[in-house]
Chains A and B, each alone.
Chain A
Amino acid sequence: MNNDLMNVSSNPHVRSKTGTQSIMLLVVIALLPAFGFGVYNFGIKALILVAVTVCSSVLTEFIYEVLMKKKVTVSDLSAVVTGLLLGLNLPPNAPWWIGLIGGVFAILVVKMLFGGLGQNFMNPALGARCFLVISYTSIMTNFDCDAYSGPTPLAALKAGESVDIMNMITGHIGGTIGETSMIAIVLGACLLLLTGVIDLRIPGTYIVSFAIFVMIFGGHGFDPAYLSAHLAGGGLMLGAFFMATDYVTRPVTKKGQYIYGLFLGIMTGIFRLFGPSAEGVSYAIILGNLLVPLIEKFTYPKAFGMGGEHI
């Protein structure tokens, strides 16, 4: 017998090099331009706030897993991604404890209590952000800081004032730490698109359907200035490329992804144009998250030889 130390397993016997950790690392790297610009735009306070959200997210996961005697999984970097996304979604002037509460809430309540990685039905960073917005409304909606004061461009747009498009695209405006620079966000998104971490199905449908919605119901028709202000303003770019594409909370079926993107585009449009707030991306996405099981159920693909071979 030659069976000493010979491994047996079911096929296949080889594995691709991509792992959960390498995917998460790419997402972290892709968020760095937006993060870097946020620090440049808003100063050291932004850096500290993001550091607090990242550390509190990772520590919460670590402590929870140790206390619950579960396998410690912080090395998969998913908590870092959550912390980073949450930090980039906070106003630069928010006190440090807002970041702490947000990080703990995101990981503990939204992620771990539902079973940890892969089991949460809502994007942890967005869940925490919405929790913070409801609980600490004045802090979370105050975008005044050293560099900028007054309403964000999107709020100004809603009030019918004019905005500077160039500044909105480069990011020299007020807003949350990571959402202001369209260029930095798209740069990071390109990395994810090129490495195959995400594809254009969701962000593409989301942005296009939102643009069409704004053209129809925005009252400005096809006005490039108004339209680009809506596209570059608020959390749309960050949301479309980094949060709507969150694996765990988006539909896994191809057709479902188009429907999901379309839903997000329409909901964001409704929130922004007809809601009381100028913003709408976060709520649109978490609302979309809730519909994922339903979308998946109705878009289960047809198998090969049953009509699904060409899709």
Chain B
Amino acid sequence: MARMTFVGGVHPYDGKELSKAKRIRDYEPVGDMVYPLSQHIGAPAKALVKKGDRVLVGQMIAEAGGFVSAPICSTVSGTVKAIEKHRVVTGEEKESIIIENDGLFEEIDWPEVPDFESLTREDKIKMIADAGIIGMGGAGFPTSVKLQPKEPDKIDYIIVNCAECEPYLTSDYRKMLEEPEKLIGGLKVSLSLFDNARGILAIEDNKPDCIEKLKKMTADEPKITVKALKTKYPQGSERHLIYATTGRAINSKMLPADAGCIVNNVDTVIAIYNAVIEGRPLMYRIVTVTGDAINNPCNFRVRIGTNYSELIEAAGGFSKKPEKIISGGPMMGFAIFDLDVPITKASSALLCLSKDEVSSSEPSACINCGRCVEACPGRVVPKLLAELADRHDEENFVRLNGLECCECGSCSYVCPAKRQLTHSIKSMRKIALSHKKK
């Protein structure tokens, strides 16, 4: 039985009112563009260009480096300046193609788009793969791989993750309001790949306007239903979304396909539409630039590869000195110390906060209050796992389901002692997972 929610979770301040009402604005970059070869899960893409080459908008500049990989195309016209390491949002330096933007945005001659009805399943998947589409909710798993499960007949739900449960983010919200036909179109393309699948648009009930609009638009679509979810973080977590909409629960070792589901994020579904119906590769991303330290919070349509610092200026600059700048939402985003990093396919927001709640609250002793246990959507005991992690007790950490943590941050959020539970657990998970792979 579907419950439209899950057990656990938290209700942080959502901050969406800052940018909710702002229409999506196009932002055209002026500076150099940076394309990390690894913006997705899997093998890095292989560069197809070299220093000095002239490239055009839409030209593939790196091809997939394996089955689980994704190509990258240029989003500006200009000259390849270098292929070298460049900093990305996580703080690491990754091999990237750097293109000097000539500001002309000269496009390639787009190939003709074949008639949709004439396309086979393989054609469509190839178009999606060539467009470089990956899961744009943050994980970055190549979508073409996701759309080729072992047993396609057993897929009975394609769920579009329209929850947008991260506080402050409004990019999915704006897209649902401004491009609903593309969203529904993309879902129909996805449904055409699976004979037995029905589509679900799963939206948190704090977006009643989207729910109403999409319900109206899908009224004559027998295969598509709009489902209102209870507003609660992390409702958009893949496994919890599947549970909320279908009542099927999978653990971290299983794939959504094991529950007969495929879950795609709003942006990903729109990218599928653009690729198959309009013949355009993945070039844009909607990015919410927001936070109390930003003068004019905005939702931008940004060319992938644009430098973050350009977006801050485009949003009117800082209204006060930011203490913390986050790529993504406040619950799962990455704090960045350097704005000279590119927007990638998986970027969703740039959040500038004038106060850092983490550094202003010193961790103190655990009082065993159990709030982390109540909040944990993974149904583990975060305070115990964090203790084991701090003691490097990997064996017991794994035994007590430490790997089932989805790193959503709910435990650290609720902890009255302000302990960095998620941080400890995350670090240990990384170690344990790397040992498991060997």
Q: Are A10 and B422 in contact (CB under 8 A)?
A: yes
Across the interface, B324 reaches (CB within 8 A) one of A13, A303, A306, namely: A13
Q: Are A9 and B364 in contact (CB under 8 A)?
A: no
Q: How far, in whole Å, are A198 and B367 apart by their CA atoms in the complex?
A: 13
Question: Which B residues are in CB contact (< 8 Å) with A5?
Answer: 321, 323
Q: Are A304 and B254 in contact (CB under 8 A)?
A: no
Q: Interface with B: A15-23, A130-138, A181-189, A229-237, which one?
A: A15-23
Task: Give the interface residue-count category, chain B.
Answer: 35 or more
Q: Please tell me if B178 contacts chain A, counting CB pairs below 8 Å.
A: no
Distance in angstroms from A82 CB to nearest chain B CB is: 12
Q: Please tell me if B285 contacts chain A, counting CB pairs below 8 Å.
A: no
Q: Please tell me if B365 contacts chain A, counting CB pairs below 8 Å.
A: yes
Q: Interface with B: A29-37, A83-91, A115-123, which one?
A: A115-123
Q: Are A20 and B364 in contact (CB under 8 A)?
A: yes
Q: How far, in whole Å, are A6 and B324 apart by their CA atoms in the complex?
A: 6
Across the interface, B335 reaches (CB within 8 A) one of A9, A117, A304, namely: A9
In this complex, what residue of B is CB-closest to A21?
A: B416
Q: Please tell me if B252 contacts chain A, counting CB pairs below 8 Å.
A: yes
Q: A7-B356, A16-B12 are in contact. Are A304 and B404 (CB under 8 A)?
A: yes
Q: Are B249 and A118 in contact (CB under 8 A)?
A: no
Distance in angstroms from A259 CB to nearest chain B CB is: 15
Q: Please tell me if B330 contacts chain A, counting CB pairs below 8 Å.
A: yes
Q: Please tell me if A310 contacts chain B, counting CB pairs below 8 Å.
A: yes
Across the interface, B413 reaches (CB within 8 A) one of A3, A15, A76, A117, namely: A15
Question: Which A residues are in CB contact (< 8 Å) with B370?
Answer: 247, 252
Task: Give the interface residue-count category, chain A.
Answer: 35 or more
Q: Are A12 and B337 in contact (CB under 8 A)?
A: no
Q: Are B413 and A14 in contact (CB under 8 A)?
A: yes
Question: Which B residues are in CB contact (< 8 Å) with A13?
Answer: 324, 326, 330-331, 333, 335, 351, 353, 356-358
Q: Are B335 and A303 in contact (CB under 8 A)?
A: no
Q: Please tell me if B218 contacts chain A, counting CB pairs below 8 Å.
A: no
Contact string against A for B residues 292-313, beta-carbon threshold 8 Å, 1 for contact and 0 otherwise: 0000000000000000010000
Q: A6-B322, A12-B332 are in contact. Are A301 and B359 (CB under 8 A)?
A: no
Distance in angstroms from A7 CB to nearest chain B CB is: 4
Q: Are B367 and A8 in contact (CB under 8 A)?
A: no
Q: Are B368 and A7 in contact (CB under 8 A)?
A: no
In this complex, what residue of B is CB-closest to A6?
A: B337
Contact string against A for B residues 390-421, beta-carbon threshold 8 Å, 1 for contact and 0 otherwise: 00000000001100100101101111111010
- Name the interface residues of B6-21: CB closer than 8 Å to any CB of A: 6-7, 10, 12-13
Distance in angstroms from B183 CB to nearest chain A CB is: 28
Q: Please tell me if B36 contacts chain A, counting CB pairs below 8 Å.
A: no
Distance in angstroms from B335 CB to nearest chain A CB is: 4
Q: How far, in whole Å, are A15 and B353 apart by their CA atoms in the complex?
A: 13
Q: A16-B12, A19-B416 are in contact. Are A303 and B325 (CB under 8 A)?
A: no
Contact string against A for B residues 352-386, beta-carbon threshold 8 Å, 1 for contact and 0 otherwise: 01001111010011111111010001111101100
Q: How far, in whole Å, are A159 and B250 apart by their CA atoms in the complex?
A: 59
Q: Give chain B's interface secondary structure class.
A: loop
Q: Are B365 and A18 in contact (CB under 8 A)?
A: no
Q: Are A12 and B249 in contact (CB under 8 A)?
A: no
In this complex, what residue of A is CB-closest to B322?
A: A6
Contact string against B for A residues 40-54, beta-carbon threshold 8 Å, 1 for contact and 0 otherwise: 000000000000000
Question: Which A residues are in CB contact (< 8 Å) with B379?
Answer: 301-304, 308-309, 311
Q: Please tell me if A142 contacts chain B, counting CB pairs below 8 Å.
A: no
Across the interface, A305 reaches (CB within 8 A) one of B251, B365, B381, B384, namely: B251
Question: Which B residues are in CB contact (< 8 Å) with A19?
Answer: 361, 416-418
- Name the interface residues of B78-100: CB closer than 8 Å to any CB of A: 91
Q: A1-B338, A2-B339, A303-B401 are in contact. Are A78 and B356 (CB under 8 A)?
A: no
Question: Which A residues are in CB contact (< 8 Å) with B63?
Answer: none
Q: How far, in whole Å, are A22 and B413 apart by their CA atoms in the complex?
A: 16
Chain B residues at the A interface, C-beta cutoff of 8 Å: 6-7, 10, 12-13, 91, 167, 239-240, 243, 249-252, 254, 309, 321-326, 330-340, 351, 353, 356-359, 361, 364-371, 373, 377-381, 383-384, 400-401, 404, 407, 409-410, 412-418, 420, 422-423, 426
Q: Would you mind naming 29 contact pairs between A and B with Cβ atoms under 8 Å apart? A: A3-B337, A3-B338, A6-B325, A7-B358, A9-B359, A10-B422, A11-B333, A11-B412, A13-B331, A13-B353, A13-B357, A14-B167, A14-B357, A15-B357, A16-B10, A19-B417, A23-B367, A116-B365, A117-B364, A118-B367, A247-B370, A248-B367, A250-B368, A300-B400, A301-B373, A301-B381, A304-B240, A304-B243, A309-B243
Closest 8 CB pairs of A and B: A305-B251, A12-B409, A10-B423, A308-B379, A303-B404, A309-B249, A303-B401, A8-B335
Chain A residues at the B interface, C-beta cutoff of 8 Å: 1-3, 5-16, 18-20, 22-23, 73, 76, 78, 116-119, 247-248, 250, 252-254, 300-306, 308-311
